[in-house]
């Protein structure tokens, strides 16, 4: 099996999650305490990190202080949607709305 064939969920239990330092991004649509966890999406050319996923409802990038993995649940404060992280094409994550 090559590394491109290996899914993240297969290697997830063996590796610890990476931690990320989140900086303020100028996103002022949520209370100040939570602003570092969101940013505006830059469109199709925007490169997402392993700790980021785009909300399919309002197109805001949800950021995490730790690496995301399939099965993680995330919350979008601007549109109040709850989502589950799933693997998408091109080795990045997408979010599916569950509530």
> In the chain, which ranges are continuous DSSP H helix?
8-11
Give the structural domain span for 65: 8-97
Which of 76, 24, 12 has its CA nearest to residue 50? 12
Domain assignment of residue 12, yes or no: yes
Percent of the chain with pLDDT strictly greater than 90: 70
Domain assignment of residue 34, yes or no: yes
**C-alpha separations of 10 from 5, 59, 69, 83, 87 in Å:** 10, 29, 10, 21, 12
For the segment 73-88, what is each residue's pLDDT rounded down to a tens digit? 999 999 999 999 999 8
Domain count, the chain: 1
Predicted TM-score (pTM) of the model is 0.81
Name the DSSP letter for residue 19: B
| Average pLDDT of the chain, as a whole number | 86
Task: Say whether pLDDT at 45 is over 80.
Answer: yes
């Amino acid at each position: 099996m090559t590394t491109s064939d290996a899914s993240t969920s297969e290697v997830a239990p063996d590796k610890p999650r990476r931690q990320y330092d989140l900086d303020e991004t100028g996103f002022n649509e949520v209370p100040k305490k939570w602003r570092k966890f969101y940013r505006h999406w830059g469109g199709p050319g925007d490169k997402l990190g392993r700790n980021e996923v785009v909300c399919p409802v309002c197109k805001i990038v949800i950021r995490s202080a730790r690496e995301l993995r399939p099965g993680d649940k995330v919350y979008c404060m601007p549109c109040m949607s709850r989502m589950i992280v799933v693997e998408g094409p091109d080795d990045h994550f997408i979010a599916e709305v569950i509530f």
